[in-house]
């Protein structure tokens, strides 16, 4: 009877408009679907928002109605409108005990909120409770919400419960727990770094779904650290073999392929593990060969697995049989009529060409067909392949094709990429400098300002340096050809700004060098450029500088200079320009025209663009002015390194400088206390001390002579013998520090680099087509692209080296090595004293030296033995003798004090010593006190 009532209610609900949805909601969906414009749709949605705002404010809303309202809010959000007024109701619904309402609330919350939303804190407690639920559907809903809503701050609140769910009896819960941990790893890797072993264990889970979910976090972990997972190679190969042998349930098949997505993920992981590893690659050979044989190339998913196999082979160290199988699969892709398969074939060919360059020659006609295909995406991929297979024998054909394609497209982003590739290939494989200049002219002309400015500088340097050999005739021909080509191009309208800068520079440097063109003709062309591009200040600046060079060369050669009227008007115009740069250039040009030939020749020498400019970094020409200012009372300049106290003392005092007055501000760091090897000064006057040199002191013995040679004339407080304020106190004597043998400053040895040779395979001499109806034009193009020997290279020397040596560099002094600068001492260093640190002398050790004296035979009296039970070997028995010894020790050099071992007590002498110490002002606190403890209070 109850079942009949339930069926009746469901039928009544269905007649009203669906199972659980009212007629109003279905009318809303229908009206939005029938809307004819975006404005009409927005009007309907805004009306629905007003209705929902009113309904959600009603008290005691039934749960079924609230569920429908939440679904309508989701629909509004999906259409791009704001439904934030109902977010709190979705959060409340996640607290409901009803499974259907709870899952609806979780679904709405994951769609409404992001991980940084303020309402996230309200559902964390609910998620924790639901993770402990006995209903696995509730647990799955909470895990789904965790993957979307938990951020780095809330991960610790749910992490322990998620880890416990890895052992849940339901495979769906274990799978979603793995997914949640993967999400945690991406958000905060440190939070799950200790759980890596759990991923390894779940790899052996009985359920294939859990195992497949584990592959995703393992792929990320292996990408970060391949070496730590080399031991899993055999496991991944075994899993892939079981999948290909169809040992998984039929439910995992897709288009009759067994678990294809698990296969693809395994192939990606194997590609990472086998990269550069011969032993790991050999383990994969058999299963990869089985995949090539078993994959069905008639379906898209089968072709996807074949493509992933090709990618895996291109990453590992493959065998010849695998390369042949990959080449056959690529051949099938290229022969297909589908553009998608052709794209995969071109991409796979580009991957394998790095391993075996002759593979491309087997498919040269197919590559030509793809190059002429109307599909723009396929054509771009083919150009990437040609870029990878470029060599000196086919560079001209490939670069010409690239430039033609660059001219035909309007996409500036890809045009920039094509231009940069053309420049790179031309610089690397150019057969001659003339061809290189022609290609650069085409690239500048059609790519314009999309070309990097460094390319323009490289071109100007190439023209200036020439072929890099002592062949002046060849260099002159190169420059003349560049001038002729630029004079033809300069008359074209709307040239790019960067290209005009190159043209102006070349015409200014070499326009009249060979005497073929007169100065008036070149200057007229430059004035036309400045007039035509008056809004571009950079181009006008280059043009004015070029005019200055032309007139300077004419004046230096003794010829009469006739300034054209248009040049004179340009100069007058720029003299009143708002641009200070142009105005300065115009004034310099006007001043240069009034100079004689000798002055002009020294200012702008002919063909001096390759000469090095010697820069006096020390500004030595100002020494006289500085000396005069110092004598007048000015303060000498102190550099930043000297102010920070990091400069070596010897280097600082090698320069001529005057003593800094004692009242001036000092910027040096505090000196670290050093062991003293000189007698202690009895006076309290300020004495000069050397600058700190921590690095050298740590490795060299300290002697009195070395200190005296490095003494400074600056007045400082003497800090020798002052106790360290921070850090562990050290009572090591100064003589122990000075007796340390010197060590090498640098114990490392340089090893020569070992070059690794590389060999390339010889390509096949020709490609014989089996189709007699092939177009002869395509055959010639294929012969141009794929013909020639791949090992022959006639690479043009790079513009940065191999050219004409720069002038004026033979007698250039060697560059001085920079002085190693040591950091200032760390006052908060509480660590143990090391062997390389400067040992601080304790003041009480010095006091100990003052109270004792050294006998002639090397013996010494132990101050600590005054209150010991053992009697010392040598004793002092009178106050007068002790005071005299105190004065003598203060004047002499304190030596090294060694305690002597005595036998038997001597109570009489101990009492006498006690009386002497009391007279010095020290009152013992016990019968046998410690002297240092009493002194320290």
* Per-residue pLDDT, 720: 55
Residue 827 has pLDDT above 50, yes or no: no
- Torsion sign, CA atoms 47, 52, 53, 57: positive
Check residue 840 and give its pLDDT: 47
Q: Which 3 state secondary structure label does DSSP give 709?
A: helix
Q: Is the dihedral of CA 408, 412, 418, 424 positive or negative?
A: positive
- Cα distance from N-terminal residue to C-terminal residue, the chain: 98
The pLDDT confidence band at residue 647, using thresholds 50, 70 and 90, is: very low
What pLDDT is attached to residue 921? 57
In sequence order, the β-bridge partners of residue 184 are none
Q: How confident is the model at residue 811 (pLDDT cuts 50, 70, 90)?
A: very low
Look at residue 1 in the predicted model and tell me its pLDDT: 45
Encode pLDDT of 489-503 as tens digits.
888 888 889 999 999
pLDDT of residue 286: 94
Alpha-carbon distances of 772 from 219, 765, 895, rounded to whole Å: 49, 19, 105
Region of 448 on the Ramachandran plot (φ > 0 left; ψ -120 to 50 alpha; else beta): left
Percent of the chain beyond pLDDT 70?
Answer: 66
Tell me which range, 603-607, 659-663, 679-683, is most confidently predicted by mean pLDDT. 603-607
Q: What is the DSSP string of 21-42?
A: --HHHHHHHHHHHT--SHHHHH
pLDDT (mean) for 473-479: 83
pLDDT at res. 864: 46
- Sorting pLDDT into bands at 50, 70 and 90, what band is 281? very high
pLDDT in tens, 103-156: 999 999 999 998 889 999 899 999 999 999 999 999 999 999 999 998 888 999
- Per-residue confidence (pLDDT) for residue 128, from 0 to 100: 93
Q: Annotate 180-215 with b (16+ C-beta within 10 A) or e (fewer).
A: bbbbbbebbeeebeebeebbeebbebeebbbbbbbb
Owner of token pair 């038997």 = 904
Mean pLDDT of 655-669: 51
Tokens 């010889």, residue located? 762
Q: Supply the pLDDT for residue 370.
A: 87
Residues 13 and 22: their CA atoms lie apart, in Å, by: 8
Helices 580-593 and 537-556, packing angle to 10 deg? 10
Type and span of the H or E element at 253: strand 253-254
Is the Cα torsion angle 771, 775, 776, 782 positive or negative in sign?
A: negative
Among the ranges given (67-81, 130-144, 265-279, 699-713), the one the predictor scored with the smallest mean pLDDT: 699-713
Helices (H) and strands (E) in the chain, counts: 42, 2
Q: What is the pLDDT of residue 355?
A: 87
* Of the candidates 119, 113, 192, the residue with the CA atom closest to the CA atom of residue 156: 192
Question: CA 508, CA 779: separation in Å to the nearest integer?
Answer: 46
pTM of the entire structure?
Answer: 0.60
**497-528, pLDDT tens digit by residue?**
999 999 999 999 988 887 888 888 999 999 99
Q: Is 232 a residue whose pLDDT tops 90?
A: yes
Give whole-number Cα distances, 497 to 246, 404, 444, 484, 579, in Å: 65, 22, 9, 19, 18
Mark out the alpha helices in 433-518 (DSSP H runs): 433-447, 453-465, 472-489, 497-510
Mean of the per-residue pLDDT values of the chain: 75
159-172 average pLDDT score: 93
What's the confidence (pLDDT) of residue 675?
A: 56
- Report whether 543 contacts 531 (CB < 8 A): no
Output the pLDDT for position 67: 92
pLDDT exceeds 50 at position 860: no
Structure confidence by residue, pLDDT tens digits, 865-891: 444 444 444 444 444 554 454 445 444
Q: How far is CA 17 from CA 26, 28, 387, 521, in A?
A: 6, 12, 62, 88
Tell me the average pLDDT across 8-26.
57
In whole angstroms, what is the distance from residue 868 CA to residue 877 CA? 17
Q: Which residue has the higher pLDDT, 865 or 486?
A: 486
pLDDT of residue 645: 66
Q: Are 188 and 155 in contact (CB under 8 A)?
A: yes
What percentage of the chain reaches a pLDDT higher than 90?
35
Phi, psi of 634 (to 5 degrees): -75, 155
For residue 354, what are its two tokens? 């790095």
- Flag the least confident range among 394-408, 437-451, 593-607, 798-812: 798-812
Q: Which of 176-190, 362-376, 764-778 has the highest mean pLDDT?
A: 176-190
DSSP characters for 738-793? HTSPP--S---------------PPPPS----S-TT--HHHHHHHHHHH-S-TT--
* CB-based contacts of 546, cutoff 8 Å, min separation 6: 504, 505, 507, 508, 509, 511, 526
As a whole number, mean pLDDT of residues 741-768 equals 39
pLDDT band at 788 (very low <50, low <70, confident <90, very high): very low
pLDDT in tens, 430-454: 888 788 888 988 998 888 778 888 8
What are all long-range contacts of 880-885, with beta carbons under 8 Å and residues at least 24 apart?
882/916, 885/852, 885/853
Q: What are phi and psi of 860, to 5 degrees?
A: -145, 155
CA separation for the pair 540, 552 (Å, rounded): 18
CA distance 95 to 406: 61
Contact 152, 190 (CB under 8 A): no
What integer pLDDT is reported at residue 557 of this predicted model? 84
State the pLDDT at residue 41.
92
* Span 354-389, pLDDT tens digits: 888 888 778 888 888 888 888 889 999 999 998 988
Half-sphere exposure of 923 (CA within 13 A, CB side): 2
Q: What does residue 177 show for φ and ψ, rounded to 5 degrees?
A: -70, -40
The Cα–Cα gap between 394 and 912 comes to 106
């Amino acid at each position: 009877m109850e079942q009949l009532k339930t069926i009746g209610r469901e039928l009544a609900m269905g007649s009203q408009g669906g199972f659980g949805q009212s007629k109003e909601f279905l009318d809303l969906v229908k009206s939005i679907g029938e809307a004819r414009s975006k404005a009409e749709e927005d009007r309907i949605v805004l009306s629905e928002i007003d209705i929902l705002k009113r309904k959600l404010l009603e008290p005691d809303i039934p749960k079924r109605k609230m569920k429908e309202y939440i679904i309508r809010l989701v629909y509004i959000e999906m259409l791009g409108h704001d439904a934030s007024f109902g977010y709190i109701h979705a959060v409340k619904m996640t607290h409901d005990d009803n499974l259907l309402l709870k899952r609806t609330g979780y679904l709405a919350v994951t769609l409404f909120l992001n991980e940084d939303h303020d309402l996230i804190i309200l559902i964390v407690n609910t998620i924790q409770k639901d993770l402990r639920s006995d209903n696995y559907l509730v647990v799955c809903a909470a895990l789904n919400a965790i993957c979307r809503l938990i951020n780095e701050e809330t991960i610790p609140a749910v992490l322990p419960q998620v880890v416990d769910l890895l052992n849940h009896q339901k495979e769906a819960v274990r799978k979603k727990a793995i997914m949640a941990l993967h999400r945690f790893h991406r958000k905060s890797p440190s939070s799950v770094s200790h759980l890596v072993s759990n991923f390894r264990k779940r790899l052996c889970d009985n359920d294939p779904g859990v195992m497949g979910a584990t592959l995703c976090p393992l792929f990320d972990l292996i990408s970060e650290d391949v070496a730590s997972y080399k031991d899993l190679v055999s496991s991944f190969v075994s899993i892939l073999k079981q999948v290909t042998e169809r040992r998984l349930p039929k439910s995992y098949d897709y288009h009759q392929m067994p678990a294809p997505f698990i296969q693809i993920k395994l192939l990606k992981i194997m590609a990472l593990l086998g990269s550069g590893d011969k032993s790991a690659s050999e383990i994969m050979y058999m299963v990869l060969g089985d995949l090539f044989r078993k994959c069905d190339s008639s379906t898209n998913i089968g072709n996807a697995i074949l493509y992933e196999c090709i990618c895996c082979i291109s990453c590992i160290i493959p065998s010849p049989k695998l390369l042949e199988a990959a080449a056959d699969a690529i051949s099938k892709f290229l022969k297909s009529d589908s553009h998608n398969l052709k794209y995969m074939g071109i991409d796979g060919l580009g991957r394998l060409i790095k391993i075996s360059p002759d593979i491309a020659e087997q498919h040269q006609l197919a590559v030509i067909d793809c190059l002429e295909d109307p599909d723009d995406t396929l054509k771009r991929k083919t150009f990437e392949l040609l870029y990878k297979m470029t060599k000196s024998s086919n560079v001209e054909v490939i670069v010409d094709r690239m430039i033609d394609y660059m001219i035909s497209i309007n996409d500036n982003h890809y045009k920039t990429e094509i231009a940069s590739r053309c420049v790179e290939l031309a610089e690397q494989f150019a057969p001659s400098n003339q061809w290189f200049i022609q290609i650069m002219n085409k690239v500048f002309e059609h790519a314009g300002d999309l070309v990097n400015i460094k390319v323009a500088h490289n071109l100007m340097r190439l023209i200036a340096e020439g072929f890099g050999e002592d062949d002046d005739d060849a260099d002159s021909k190169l420059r003349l050809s560049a001038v002729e080509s630029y004079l033809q191009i300069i008359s074209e309208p709307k040239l790019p700004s960067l290209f005009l800068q190159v043209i102006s520079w070349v015409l200014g440097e070499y326009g009249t060098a060979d005497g073929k063109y007169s100065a008036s003709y070149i200057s007229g062309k430059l004035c036309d450029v400045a007039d035509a591009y008056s809004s571009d200040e950079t181009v006008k600046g280059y043009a004015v500088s070029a005019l200055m060079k032309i007139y300077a060369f004419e004046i230096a050669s003794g010829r009469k200079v006739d300034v054209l009227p248009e040049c004179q008007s340009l100069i007058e115009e720029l003299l009143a320009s708002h641009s200070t740069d142009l105005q300065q250039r115009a004034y310099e040009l006007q001043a240069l025209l009034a100079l004689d030939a000798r002055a002009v020749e020294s200012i702008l020498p002919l063909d001096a663009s390759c000469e090095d400019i010697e820069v006096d970094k020390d500004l030595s020409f100002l020494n006289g002015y500085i000396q005069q200012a110092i004598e007048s009372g000015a303060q000498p300049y102190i550099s930043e390194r000297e102010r920070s106290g990091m400069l070596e003392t010897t280097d600082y005092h090698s320069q001529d400088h005057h003593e800094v007055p004692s009242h001036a501000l000092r910027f040096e760091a505090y000196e670290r206390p050093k062991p003293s090897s000189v007698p202690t000064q009895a006076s309290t006057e300020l004495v000069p001390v050397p600058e700190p040199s921590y690095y050298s002191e740590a490795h060299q013995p300290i002697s009195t002579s070395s200190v005296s040679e490095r003494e400074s004339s600056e007045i400082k407080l003497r800090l020798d013998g002052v106790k360290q304020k921070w850090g562990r106190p050290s009572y090591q004597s100064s003589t122990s520090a000075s007796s340390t043998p010197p060590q090498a400053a640098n114990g490392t040895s340089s090893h020569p680099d070992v070059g690794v040779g590389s060999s390339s395979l010889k390509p096949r001499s020709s490609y014989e087509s089996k189709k007699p109806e092939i177009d002869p034009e395509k055959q010639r193009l294929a012969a141009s692209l794929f013909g020639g020997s791949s090992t022959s290279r006639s690479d043009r020397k790079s513009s940065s080296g191999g050219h004409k040596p720069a002038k004026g560099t033979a007698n250039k002094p060697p560059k001085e090595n920079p002085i190693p600068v040591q950091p200032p001492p760390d006052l908060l260093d509480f660590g143990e004293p090391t062997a390389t640190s400067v040992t601080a002398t304790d003041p009480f050790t010095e006091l100990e030296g003052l109270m004792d004296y050294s006998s002639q035979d090397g013996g010494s009296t132990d101050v600590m033995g005054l209150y010991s039970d053992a009697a010392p070997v040598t004793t002092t028995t009178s106050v007068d003798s002790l005071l005299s010894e105190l004065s003598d020790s203060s004047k002499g050099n304190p030596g090294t004090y060694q305690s002597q071992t005595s036998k038997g007590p001597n109570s009489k002498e101990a009492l006498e010593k006690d009386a002497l110490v009391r007279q010095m002002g020290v009152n013992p606190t016990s019968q046998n006190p410690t002297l240092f403890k009493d002194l320290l209070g």
